[in-house]
């Protein structure tokens, strides 16, 4: 038996990026910051999320930077060749099957004001 289920609760690191395809499909991507208790740092772990269909539409309409959300999905890896070096690259992505909107609109607004944005150094995950 195999099992690939990921459950995360955290805050959206940016507004959703939504794409509509000619086929009628909708894809949404965003990042999720999840705090992991640690003695040495308060820095969150960052996860890349991919949502499709109705779930993507809900995220695009209701999730904003700082929104508290819960997701359930599966871990997958995207692979590509670096254009500059030809090196193989990969990154983990959570393919979200279920999205829970947590907290109130006021919580989301306050979090957006107080919550830092993700760092993007262009490096590997």
- Please give the model's pTM, rounded to 2 decimal places: 0.78
Q: What is the pLDDT of residue 23?
A: 94
Q: What b/e sequence results for 93-121 when a residue is b if at least 16 CB atoms lie within 10 Å of its CB, and e otherwise?
A: bbebeebeeeeeeeebeebbeebeeeeee
- For residue 47, the enclosing domain spans 6-112
* pLDDT tens profile 47-73: 999 999 999 999 999 999 999 999 999
Cα-trace Rg, the chain = 15
Least confident of 34-38, 46-50, 113-117: 113-117
**Total domains, the chain:** 1
d(CA 17, CA 30): 6
Is 120 inside a domain boundary?
no
**DSSP-derived secondary structure for 60-75:** HHH--TT-EEEEEEEE
Q: What is the CATH number of the domain that holds 74?
A: 2.40.50.140
Is 32 inside a domain boundary?
yes
Q: What is the pLDDT of residue 123?
A: 29
């Amino acid at each position: 038996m195999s099992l690939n289920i990921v459950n995360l609760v955290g805050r959206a690191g940016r507004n959703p990026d939504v794409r509509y395809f000619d086929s009628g499909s909708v894809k949404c991507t965003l990042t999720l910051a999840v705090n992991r208790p640690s003695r040495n740092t308060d820095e969150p772990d960052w996860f890349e999320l991919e949502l499709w269909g109705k779930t993507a539409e809900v995220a695009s309409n209701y999730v904003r930077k700082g929104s508290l959300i819960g997701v359930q999905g599966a871990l997958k890896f995207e692979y590509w060749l670096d254009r500059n070096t030809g090196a193989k690259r990969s990154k983990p992505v959570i393919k979200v099957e279920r999205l829970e909107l947590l907290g109130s609109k006021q919580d989301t607004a306050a979090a957006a004001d107080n919550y830092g944005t993700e760092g993007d150094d262009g490096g590997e995950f």
